[in-house]
Chain A
Amino acid sequence: MPETASSAAQHAPVVQVRDMDFCYGSKAALHSIHLDVEYHRVTALIGPSGCGKSTLLRCINRMNDRVAGARVSKGEILVKGKNIHDADVDLTQLRRQVGMVFQKSNPFPKTIYENVAYGLRVHGVKDKTTLDEAVERSLTQAALWDELKDRLQAHALGLSGGQQQRLCIARAIATMPDVLLMDEPCSALDPIATLKIEELIAQLARNYSVVIVTHNMQQAVRVSDFTAFLHLGKLVEFAPTEELFTNPREKLTDSYLRGTFS
């Protein structure tokens, strides 16, 4: 990706987490997280279960606002240079520009077309040609267009698991977000479907900045440019993927990667 390499250099990190603490009510979940998500790069979050990967991810589009008592208690998150907790930030605009794909593929029980068009519709787009174009573009980018172009009016739940997850990706990129957050997008899929999504992620990085949570080390190695290792709510190490996996600076990272983790 030589051309994106040069353009990425000109961009400041698209997401900047600045020394952030996060808690669910009285229970602290994240401590002093400091992390930059580079423009048009794939950043992987790894770590043992319960270490706060999903929590961190959901902070970036403020999905945690839905959880009663959950709040950022220190620090800040900047997306495209803007503090997302500022009073003049409109949540719907933030989420339009920071898309999210969930662990369980969860298309709406509507047609394929309506699923992809959902994000645009809620933002008031009514024009048929705009919608048609967006649907085609999103499905193409999600590597689904050729498979589905004749069945756009079919029910989305009739698709296979892997197709459903790619449909969810298409739905998330239909609003052309800058950042795409993915929480274990392959954990419910078989190896072939997983491979397809991984290929897709590599391609998506041309147009989007991707943050992906994964339990699969190999996957992190295959898809990501940077990897962050979290443990007990702390960011232990954050480095280019190759460096982190071949030559980890922290002992904790090393033992986690070797699987000799207590």
Chain B
Amino acid sequence: MNNPFAGDNTRIQRRETAARWALRMGSYTVVFLTVSIFLFITFKGLPHATKPGFLTELTSTLHVIESKSGEIIQTGPAQADAMKQKLGDQFVSEKTISYSGGGILGPIVGTALLVLVSVSVALFLGVCCAIYLSEYAKKGKFLETVRLAILNLAGVPSVVFGLFGLGAFVLTAPVLTNAPADRAIFVIPLGFTNLSFQGWDTCVLSGGFTLAFVILPVIITASEQCLQAVPQGFRETSMALGATRWQTIWRSVLPFATPGILTSTILGIARAAGETAPIMFTAALAFKDKLPWQKDLPPLPADAGMFAHWEQSVQRFLGIFTESVQALPYHIYTLAAKIPQNEYSEQAQYGSVFVFLILVASLAATSIWLRIHLRKKYKW
């Protein structure tokens, strides 16, 4: 029987097939590369990342001691001498590898703090800005210029943000102090104290603010889109019921934009957590042997009251943000580029990369979960 629907293998059909295959191959290549990278890092990093203490210890120098029997002992700086003594004349050689011993608790904590500060700052500024642009600003040339500027900001290399942060936050940002430093650019006396433009030094606060500016364009753009996606009808109805503009935004726009804003925020977190250049000059240290809250404060006198204890706790808490920290991406950079490479530094490096990858992946998963969950609650 003859087939009335037989293809005639014309040029059009061949082109269709070619296009389909080109698109398919493109997607498969991307998937293949991503999966290979992930598997490679897991394969290289998982064994080291699951070593006891890797997630719970501070970074230290790794001492690798070889004995006559060919045994190789890896240990930290504290036990190295004792180990050598124990080996006695069995001792053959000792290698020290910086930053490759212990764990990565310091970098994890540092990154968490940096992310906390940057996301709080970026979310506040970003959402304010997005609300203004979307709900209040008059449509026109000026608004378009502002939007363009924000988009351009997203294209600025991150090292430029780092230098901006160095200039703005590390060296010039204002602090309240009774004794302004000599390096202060200028000082405004306030009577009871001084507002001194002497910068915040390299610390979590400087780094967090710098990172906030890195992710700000993403957050503003995404938040504005989420606000715009809320049906205009909600605004009209709300206003027609006599609500002011702010009441309308607060009750009938923002709640429905929140799922989207949070999703973009979480992607912003992933970005902030991964940036190296912006924190290089503003917050990160290659090495630190204490967590930010482990600070020596003068011991309180035995008869110190509740208030003194309370005050010291607050001081300790605030102190966290004025400390410089280690951070995961910078730690990886240090291990990869600032010390001589060998098998031990490589292990530490892949271990850290693996942990970082897991953190980012779980953030992405959280964002997806959050979106699904909130969409259900605030669907329209």
Please give the residue numbers on chain A whose beta carbons come within 8 Å of chain B beta carbons, in ascending order.
61, 63, 66, 68, 91-96, 99-100, 102, 104, 106, 108-109, 118-119, 121-123, 157, 168, 171-172, 175
Q: Is the pair B234, A95 in contact by a Cβ cutoff of 8 Å?
A: no
Given A68-B139, A109-B378, A109-B380, are A122 and B234 also a contact pair (CB < 8 Å)?
Answer: no
Is residue B236 contacting chain A, with contact meaning CB distance below 8 A?
yes
Q: Is the pair A102, B233 in contact by a Cβ cutoff of 8 Å?
A: yes
Is residue B25 contacting chain A, with contact meaning CB distance below 8 A?
no
Residues of A contacting B138 with CB < 8 Å? 68
Residues of B contacting A119 with CB < 8 Å? 241-243
Known: A95-B241, A157-B380. 11 other contacts (CB 8 A): A63-B239, A66-B236, A92-B242, A95-B242, A104-B233, A106-B231, A109-B379, A118-B251, A168-B237, A171-B237, A172-B240
Cα of A175 to Cα of B241 in the assembled complex, Å? 8
Q: Is the pair A92, B244 in contact by a Cβ cutoff of 8 Å?
A: yes
Q: Is the pair B241, A171 in contact by a Cβ cutoff of 8 Å?
A: yes
Q: List 7 A-B contacts (CB under 8 A).
A: A61-B240, A92-B243, A95-B239, A96-B242, A108-B252, A118-B243, A122-B244
Which residues 210-246 of B have a CB within 8 angstroms of A?
231, 233-234, 236-244
Place the interface of chain B in its size category.
20 to 34
Q: Is the pair B247, A122 in contact by a Cβ cutoff of 8 Å?
A: yes
Is residue B256 contacting chain A, with contact meaning CB distance below 8 A?
yes
Cα of A102 to Cα of B237 in the assembled complex, Å? 8
Residues of A contacting B240 with CB < 8 Å? 61, 63, 95, 99-100, 102, 172
Residues of B contacting A109 with CB < 8 Å? 256, 378-380
Residues of B contacting A157 with CB < 8 Å? 379-380
Cα of A175 to Cα of B240 in the assembled complex, Å? 11
Cα of A19 to Cα of B283 in the assembled complex, Å? 68
A65 to chain B minimum Cβ distance, whole angstroms, is 9
Chain A residue at minimum C-beta to C-beta distance from B240: A100
Cα of A95 to Cα of B242 in the assembled complex, Å? 5
B374 to chain A minimum Cβ distance, whole angstroms, is 12
Residues of B contacting A96 with CB < 8 Å? 241-242
Residues of B contacting A94 with CB < 8 Å? 242
Cα of A61 to Cα of B239 in the assembled complex, Å? 10
Quick one: which of A104, A108, A123 contacts B242, CB cutoff 8 A?
A123
Q: Is the pair A122, B379 in contact by a Cβ cutoff of 8 Å?
A: no
B329 to chain A minimum Cβ distance, whole angstroms, is 40
Chain B residue at minimum C-beta to C-beta distance from A121: B251
B245 to chain A minimum Cβ distance, whole angstroms, is 10
Cα of A210 to Cα of B237 in the assembled complex, Å? 18
Most buried by B among A66, A91, A109, A119: A109
Cα of A121 to Cα of B238 in the assembled complex, Å? 11
Cα of A71 to Cα of B240 in the assembled complex, Å? 18
Q: Is the pair A93, B236 in contact by a Cβ cutoff of 8 Å?
A: no
Q: Is the pair B241, A122 in contact by a Cβ cutoff of 8 Å?
A: yes
Cα of A49 to Cα of B299 in the assembled complex, Å? 82
Q: Is the pair A102, B251 in contact by a Cβ cutoff of 8 Å?
A: no
Given A109-B379, A109-B380, are A102 and B242 also a contact pair (CB < 8 Å)?
Answer: no
Q: Is the pair A93, B242 in contact by a Cβ cutoff of 8 Å?
A: yes
Which residues 52-87 of B have a CB within 8 angstroms of A?
none
A96 to chain B minimum Cβ distance, whole angstroms, is 4
Q: Is the pair A66, B241 in contact by a Cβ cutoff of 8 Å?
A: no
Residues of A contacting B379 with CB < 8 Å? 109, 157
